[in-house]
Structure 1
């Protein structure tokens, strides 16, 4: 799960940065406000990459996805990109857990075969 979720978060890091550039030029918000919000979200993406396997990290990731969708009120394209990344986040969590379960099952099976 960690690899899939981290890949999604790194993609979001770049999208948030580019959205910050667009918002800086097209919105009525000050440059400081845009980069404070964008910077916090970008740092959160990077921190979550290392914390994905910890309790509560997936929920924080969902909150980040909601924030990404809501950023569409500033940069309208972010409604679409936010929904796309929310779908990618769901897929990363869902299929990542399945992959982790399969790896654990195969490791247990290999350990049982070695001991037999």
Structure 2
């Protein structure tokens, strides 16, 4: 799960940066405000890569997804991109858990790396 979720979060860092470039065109927003908000969001996204498997990590990821969707009030395209990344986040969490469960079952059944004293395969003879 960690790999899929981290990949989504890294992609969001780029989207947040590009949204900041678009938001700078708004004459009502100062450059400092735009980059402070974007910088914090990018930093949070990066830090979530490291804590996504810890308790509360997934919930913080969902909070970031909501924030990206709400950014659509400043940059309207972010309604679409935020929803798209929320879907990717859901898929990363959902399928990442399935992959983790399958890996655990495989390891419990005695996969190829389960023990050093594993018997050679019948094809080796």
- TM-score of the pair, normalised by structure 2: 0.87
Q: Which has the larger radius of gyration?
A: 2
Aligned pair 1:58/2:70, yes or no? no
Aligned to 2:122: none
1:59-115 Cα distance to aligned partner (Å, 9 max, x none):
000000000000000000000000000000000000000000000000010149x5x
Query: Structure 1: where are the runs of 5+ without partners?
Result: none
Aligned to 1:21: 21
Q: In 2, Cα distance between the equivalents of 1:104 and 1:33? A: 46
More helix per residue: 1
Q: Is the 8 A contact 1:5 1:52 kept in 2?
A: yes
Report the RMSD for the aligned CA atoms in angstroms: 1.2
- Paired residues in the alignment total 113
Unpaired runs of 5+ residues, structure 2, are 119-125
Consecutive aligned runs of 4 or more in structure 1 exceeding 6 Å deviation: none
